[in-house]
Amino acid sequence: VSVLFDKFDVFAGGFWLTLQACVLAAIGALILGAVVAVLRISPVPPLRAVGTGYVTIFRNMPLTVVMFFAAFGLPALGSNADFLRIPVVDSLFRRLGTDLPYFRFVLIALVLYTAAFVCEALRSGVNAVPAGQAEAARSLGLTFGQNLRYVVLPQSWKASIVPLGSVIIAMIKNSALMGFFGVVGDLSQTADQLTSAEGYAFVPVAIGVSIGYLVMTIPLGALLDRIERRQAVGGR
Amino acid sequence: MSILYDVPGPRQRRITVIVSVVAVLAVLAGLYFFVYRPLDSKGQFSADLWAPLVDPRNEDFAQVWSRLGVGIRNTLRAAGLAIVASLLVGSLLAVLRIQLKSLARRRFTGFATPMSHLLRGLSVVLSGVTRACVEVFRGLPVVLTIFFVARGLPEFGITFSTLWYLVIGLTIYNSVVIAEILRSGMEGLPVGQREAASAIGMSPLQTTRMILLPQAYRIMLPALISQLVVVLKDTSLGFIISYEETLNIGKQIIGVLNNPIQVYTVIAVLFIAVNYSLSKLAQYIQRRLARGRKTRTVAPGVAPDAAVAPEGAPVP
């Protein structure tokens, strides 16, 4: 068990890197997911088709395949994902700026994959707004954009928050894959490194790494349960 | 037709057509400049790379597809075993949790006082332990569960083939998720179901087994099917413990033919085709269940909180 204390800085570093990846991927996925959601409910048929196609592709593909695509496809497209080396942000999240592109590749895969689920969560929120609301807005003469902005989205937000939260929790868990795609020093790679290369006992390392993930997922899950219960009571 | 906008008039139709054309052109241009051109300039469309996968006359075609066939069979085998095992374990776990929860509320009259306190404490502790197990395994990434199983079991002198490591890892995670799905299904049923069952003299276990569980399966069927899609997708994690599933075989093929993009495209298409039909099935079942609910006079329960309402479904 002493490995938990001897190597505490390794675990903490792994936790920190995983957390960074999750924060960045969550931001990216929320933005991209919102864009795709707007495409999916827009009045222009080709845009709707693009949104639907995106969701169909990424929701039905294993994240592993998306990651392989990012890791092999982007270099083939002649990109090392250098556009993610955003000047100020990469000094905050130093992994973004390193020469090894794997962190950026994994991030892109995570964002692309999660955005499809974010889109569906947002859309389910929009569908949960009573039809009368949007109809009333239309009969007042609001356009599609106004309707969304002033009537539907402010209300759909409430219905989206729980599904969005579960998507983010799933994303945190999915981020564990990055240790197997060349990213050095995140929580899951730490487990591999400490047990196989440095020969520490397996069980304490597993416990340490598990705690690292549970610290992120369980409180979020509990928070969501609370919000859900509150909404259920308030809705009656 | 969405409720978000009116049936377009002549001006709106004109705008829609213009925006559509512009959007299509923009998408095509984007694909051409950012995907086709770079891929083409690196020769990714050359016949050498694609032919082994799509051209039956190619010398490698038969071998590549027989290998991929092995991979697909292995994927389906692992997925099938994991699904069956998670459904079994998940149902047991759901019943166990429901039983322990009701046991923890019982007062155990008819026993001596210390005995009843002991029994009560025991059931509260057991209920807490199962709850903690569920929370822990639900909160862990399934990658790590698989990794821990493959790395941890040999430490205790238990060795299997990689297939079983993958199945056990997937089962641990998914059975917990399925248990939670079924439990919320059972708890969402009207109280009258349970009360009626105990009124005709069924024991709590009988009530759960014969009244609640079958209904939970029914109303949670769409959620269960989407969980099956998740299992199928997660079998691709077998590559981290070098189980020979589709993706791993793909890697071996790439090692020989050196065409990663092409092989992964084919594998992605395979996965999307299977999973898409599965989720369509889930949608179809959901719609049928919704229809069944409406025609009957007695509402048989709370609708499952599906992630997404089916397209065009009436909004409550």
Complex confidence, ipTM: 0.84
CB contact under 8 A, A202 and B147: no
Nearest CA in chain B to A173: B141
pLDDT digits (tens, 9 = 90+) for A148-201: 889 888 888 888 888 899 999 999 998 888 888 877 778 888 888 887 777 778
CB contact under 8 A, B229 and A60: yes
Report d(CA B63, CA B68) in Å as an integer: 9
Quick one: which of B210, B228, B302, B189 has its CA closest to B79? Answer: B228
Average pLDDT for residues A52-81, to the nearest whole number? 85
Q: Which residues of B touch A79 (CB under 8 A)?
A: 38
Chain B nearest C-alpha distance from A97 (Å) = 23
CA angle B21, A41, A149 (to 5 degrees): 110
Contact B143 A180 (CB under 8 A): yes
User: What is the per-residue pLDDT for B88?
Assistant: 94
pLDDT-derived band at A88 (thresholds 50, 70, 90) equals: low
Q: What is the pLDDT of residues B45-63, one digit of tens each?
A: 777 777 777 777 777 778 8
Per-residue pLDDT tens digits for B242-263: 888 888 888 888 888 888 888 8
Confidence band (pLDDT; 50, 70, 90) for A7? confident
Type of residue found at B125: V
Is A211 part of the contact surface with chain B (CB cutoff 8 Å)? no
The answer to whether B53 faces chain A, any CB pair under 8 Å, is no
pLDDT surpasses 80 at B19: yes
Residue B205 at interface with chain A, using a CB cutoff of 8 Å: no
**Letter string b/e over residues B160-192, b meaning 16 or more CB atoms within 10 A of that residue's CB:** eebbbbbbbbbbbbbbbbbbbbbbbbbbbbeee
The candidate with the shortest Cα–Cα distance to A104, out of A76, A67, A139, A132, is A67
CB contact under 8 A, B234 and A46: no
* Å between B49 CA and nearest CA of chain A: 13
Mean pLDDT across chain A, nearest whole number? 84
Which pLDDT belongs to residue B305?
Answer: 43
Instruction: Please list, residue by residue across A21-37, b when 16 or more beta carbons sit within 10 angstroms of its beta carbon and e when fewer do.
Output: bbebbbebbbebbeebb
Closest approach of A45 to chain B, Cα-based (Å): 7
Among candidates B140, B264, B315 on the partner chain, residue whose Cβ is nearest the Cβ of A127: B315
pLDDT band with cut points at 50, 70 and 90 for residue B294: low
pLDDT tens digits, B68-121? 888 889 999 999 999 999 999 999 999 998 888 888 777 777 777 888 888 888
Query: What residue in B sits closest to A50 (Cα-Cα)?
Result: B27
Least-confidence region, from A2-6, B131-135, B225-229: A2-6
Identify the three-state secondary structure at position B258: coil
Nearest chain A residue to B31, by CA: A77
Say if residue B11's pLDDT is above 70: yes
Single-letter amino acid, residue B36: Y
Both structure tokens of A163 = 């599904």
B30 touches chain A (CB under 8 A): no
Listed range (A221-225, B164-168, B195-199, B242-246) with the worst mean pLDDT? B242-246
Does residue A177 sit at the B interface (CB-CB below 8 Å)? yes
Residue-level pLDDT at B94 = 92
A141, pLDDT greater than 80: yes
> Is B61 an interface residue toward A (CB < 8 Å)?
no
Give the max Cα distance, chain B. 85
From first CA to last CA, the distance across chain B in angstroms is 17
More confident residue, B82 or A104: B82
- For residues A12 and B307, give the distance between their C-alpha atoms in angstroms, rounded to a whole number: 34
Do B293 and B303 touch, CB atoms closer than 8 A? Answer: yes
pLDDT bucket at A129, cuts 50 / 70 / 90? confident
Hey, how many other C-beta atoms are within 10 angstroms of the C-beta on A71? 19
pLDDT of residue B316: 34
What global pTM score does this model have?
0.85
Q: What is the pLDDT of chain B when averaged over all its residues?
A: 82
In this prediction, residue B309 carries a pLDDT of: 39
Buried b (16+ CB within 10 A) or exposed e, B72-91: bebbeebbebbbebbbebbb
- Classify residue B193 by burial, with Cβ atoms within 10 Å: 0-12, 13-18, 19+: middle
Q: Compare B309 and A100 and report the one with higher pLDDT.
A: A100
**Is B138 within 8 Å of B230 (Cβ atoms)?**
no
Determine the longest span between alpha carbons in chain A, in angstroms.
70
* Residue A181 and residue A106 in contact, taking contact as beta carbons nearer than 8 Å: yes
Measured CA to CA, the distance from residue A14 to residue A17 in angstroms comes to: 5
Residues of B with Cβ-Cβ distance to A207 under 8 angstroms: none
**How far away is chain B from the Cα of A108, in angstroms, using its nearest Cα?**
16
pLDDT band at B292 (very low <50, low <70, confident <90, very high): low
Q: Tell me the chain A residues in contact with residue B23 when contact means C-beta distances shorter than 8 Å.
A: 44, 46-47, 50
Q: In this predicted model, which residue has the larger pLDDT, A133 or B6?
A: A133
- Cα–Cα distance list, B85 to B25, B79, B80, B123, B164 (Å): 49, 10, 8, 26, 11
- Closest Cα to residue A160, out of B177, B311, B3, B307? B307
Q: Which of A85-94, A106-115, A218-227, B176-185 has the least mean pLDDT? A: A85-94
Residue B7 pLDDT class (50, 70, 90 cuts): confident
Distance separating alpha carbons of residues B143 and B124, to the nearest angstrom: 32
Per residue in B138-169, pLDDT (tens digit) is 888 998 899 888 888 887 877 888 889 999 99
B24 touches A at CB < 8 Å: yes
pLDDT above 90 coverage of chain B, percent: 15
Q: What is the mean pLDDT of residues A123-147?
A: 86
Neighbours of A221 (CB within 10 A): 17
* pLDDT tens-digit map of B21-44: 998 899 899 888 877 877 777 777
Q: Distance between CA A94 and CA A98 in Å, rounded? A: 7
| Residue B300 DSSP SS3 | coil
